[in-house]
Structure formats: C-alpha cells, structure tokens
Amino acid sequence: MEFALILLGSLCVGLAIALIRARAERAADWERNRRELAEQRARRDAEFKEQTERTSALFDRMVEGLLVVDSVGRIRLANKAASALFGLEGNAVAKTTLEATRNHEVSALVSRVEREAEVLGYELRIDSMGAPRFLQVNALAMRGNNGASDGAILVFHDLTRLRQLEGVRQEFVGNVSHELRTPLSLIKSASETLLDGAKDDPVALQRFLQIIDKHANRLALLIDDLLLLSTLDSGGLRLNKQPLALRNTVQDAMDDLQPRALMRDVTLENAIPQGFIVYADSDRMRQVMSNLIDNAIKYGREGGKTLVEARTLEDGRIEVLVTDDGPGIPKDFQDRIFERFFRVDKARSREQGGTGLGLAIVKHVVQAHGGEVRLEGESGRGSTFILNLPAPNPVR
C-alpha cells in the first residue's frame, strides 16, 4: 500500500515537472516568435522609411511642382517645387488643396480630373510671393484595382521665364519695326514728292535727295547694329584678341568723329599714354570707343570737351574712361541706359541719327572681352562711361 502511494506520488511529481517544462518551452517559443516578428516588422518599417525618403528626395529634385492628392482631395505628397510655388507652410500633408494652396482653381482642377480622368495643358496664373507666375498643369486621376478613385497627381510646369522672354521678344520686334518704319516713311514721302513734280525744281530736288540719302544711311546703320547684336546674342562673334596700343585705337575713332565734333564745337582729348596696351580685338575696340565718343559729342555740352583716359588697377585690370561735360543722365534712367532702344530723349537721339543700340553694343562687346561697362555721373554734371577690361596678358 505504502509502495503504491509512493509510486503514485512520484508519478504525479513527474507529470507536474513535464507540464512545467512543456509550458516553459511554449513560453520560450512564443517569446522567440514575438521577437522574430518584431524584428521583421522593424526591418520592413526601416525599408519602407528608406524607400519613402528616397522617393521624396527624388521628387524634391524635380524642377516641376508635384502634388499627389487622395480620393477626398487631401494632399498625400507635395514636393519642394510645389511648396515653393504655392508657399506651402509646414507640412501640407492631409490638408485639402484649398487649405494648403488657398487657390480655388487648383481645388476645382482636382475635382475636374476626378470626373475626366486627365486634364492636360491647363494654364494657371498664380501669385507666388507677390509676383505673378504662369504655370501649365497636367493632372491625372489614379484608380485602385477595383476601378475606384484613388486620388490624383498634378504636375506644375513653371512657364514664367518663357513668358517673360516672349514678352521681351515681342517688345523687341515692335521696336525694330517702329525704328525701320520711321526712316522708310520719310524716304517714301520724299520720293513721292519728287515724283509729284518737285524733281523739276533743282533746289527741291537737292533737298529731297539729301533727305533720302540721310534716312537710307540711318536704315543701313540700324541694320548693321541689329545684325551685330544678333551675332553677339548667339555667341557667334569671333574676336581676334591681340595686344593693342589703346592710344592709337582711340585716336583713329577721334579722327573719324572730328567732323561731327567740329559741328558742335566739341574738343576731343586723347589722354591715353603712349604704349598703353589692352588685349582686345582691334575693330571691335575701335567700335566701342567710337560709340562712346560719338555719344559724348552728341549728348555732351555744345562747345564742351570729351576726354578719354586709361588706368591700370591694383589687380592688373584696366579701366578706360570716356568723360563729357554735358547734362549727364538722370539717376532714374541710369539703370536702363544699356537696354536696347532705350533713350532718355527719343526725339534728340533720332534727330542725331542714333539707333538706340550703341550702348547695348558697347556692353555686349565689352562682356565678350571678359569685361564690364558702367556709368558714373550725376544729372547736370556730365557722364563718365568706364570700361573695366582684363589684364593685358594674353591667355595662351
């Protein structure tokens, strides 16, 4: 009996131990599984985060603005360019397009693309940081596997720069046409007057032929200047740079312009030292000097003086100065003086046979030499045009 009880007791103890062991093993298994699952989830999360960051970095590098919205029009993603265009503050994610962009047209476009599946080439004008911007939008609806709406993608191309260039081009064409039309109509009316009978009067014949000659010359000058500017614009001007004795170049330009200076009783003074060398294209440098000295004669003081000087700066660069003692150029106009067709006094310029392109040519030619041109002087106190040119050591 006693033996049976002992046997039963030890059986019970054995069973209890086996049970405890089994439970401990289950708990260890469970803990192992839990840890593995947690590690797998952490790996997936890290991969997902890395992928999302890589995608966002890619989208942020796009020049175009990109908005991705969900099926109820809330923003899922806005790249850097879109944030800059619409001034999106902080995180725009989860806001509606209207809340984020404060632009009704954008939110109307989101609704429209839902209905039409795609909207291409939509033109949008927005105010971005106080300045108008012209955008072209392409929008595409996204659908889930079951065909249900899954939001939309909107891509914004900024066309502002193109529009501005188009405006500049149109203004230029308008100016050119106007400049060509003026001398042409004068030539036409002079020839008509001659044909109508003035040719039989020797005095009238002489006068009208002079008008025709003057305006034909003006047309030729204008066309030469336009062609040169277009060559400069296209970067097609070939410069034959070589060491140049600047005093001689300036003297050649002054000799050509002496008759015009005499007509206004202007003294031309060449104060450039003998042996002063610049590294430049001889013909082009002569043209630059000629344009500046011609302006100084035309717009300077009658009976005044035009002075050309040069100096070497500490860094080895060279400055050439063309100074007159005329009325100068009012401060308000000084920023625009190198623009094509810009004139302070249109009538005066035309009357003097100006094309309105002289200073634009000076600026471009000097830039093609690696230099810059600036104007100094106050209204009423004459003008000094200063060319800053590279040091005269030829680059081999």
CB of 368 to ligand ADP, least distance (A): 17
Counting contacts by CB under 6 A, is residue 179 touching ligand ADP?
no
Closest CA to 121 of 109, 129, 132: 109
Phi, psi for residue 52 in degrees, rounded to 5: -65, -45
Query: How many Å apart are CA 260 and CA 131, to the nearest integer?
Result: 47
Counting contacts by CB under 6 A, is residue 296 touching ligand ADP?
yes
CB of 311 to ligand ADP, least distance (A): 20
Number of residues that bind ligand ADP (CB under 6 A): 22
Cβ neighbours for 254, distance < 8 A, ≥ 6 positions apart:
261, 268, 270, 293, 308
CB of 115 to ligand ADP, least distance (A): 56
Is residue 327 within 8 A of residue 379, CB to CB? The reply is yes
Counting contacts by CB under 6 A, is residue 299 touching ligand ADP?
yes
Near ligand ADP in 331-390, by CB under 6 A: 337, 342-345, 349, 354-360, 383
- Comparing every residue's Cβ against ligand ADP, the nearest one is 354
Counting contacts by CB under 6 A, is residue 269 touching ligand ADP?
no
103 vs 379 by CB, closer to ligand ADP? 379
241 vs 340 by CB, closer to ligand ADP? 340
79 vs 355 by CB, closer to ligand ADP? 355
31 vs 302 by CB, closer to ligand ADP? 302
CB of 216 to ligand ADP, least distance (A): 17
387 beta partners: 320, 373
Phi, psi for residue 133 in degrees, rounded to 5: -130, 140
75 vs 386 by CB, closer to ligand ADP? 386
Query: What is the x/- site pattern for ligand ADP, positions 306-325, by CB under 6 A?
Result: ------------------x-
137 vs 307 by CB, closer to ligand ADP? 307
CB of 53 to ligand ADP, least distance (A): 54
Counting contacts by CB under 6 A, is residue 166 touching ligand ADP?
no
Q: Which span sits near ligand ADP by CB under 6 A: 95-103, 170-178, 239-247, 294-302? A: 294-302
CB of 212 to ligand ADP, least distance (A): 21
83 vs 383 by CB, closer to ligand ADP? 383
83 vs 291 by CB, closer to ligand ADP? 291
Counting contacts by CB under 6 A, is residue 295 touching ligand ADP?
yes
CB of 241 to ligand ADP, least distance (A): 24
Q: Which span sits near ligand ADP by CB under 6 A: 72-80, 132-140, 197-205, 296-304? A: 296-304
Q: Show the tokens assigned to 395.
A: 């680059």
- From candidates 329, 365, 366, 389, binder to ligand ADP by CB under 6 A: 329
51 vs 367 by CB, closer to ligand ADP? 367
243 vs 330 by CB, closer to ligand ADP? 330
Closest CA to 75 of 94, 102, 91: 94
Which positions touch ligand ADP (CB under 6 A)?
A: 291, 295-296, 299-300, 324, 326, 329, 337, 342-345, 349, 354-360, 383
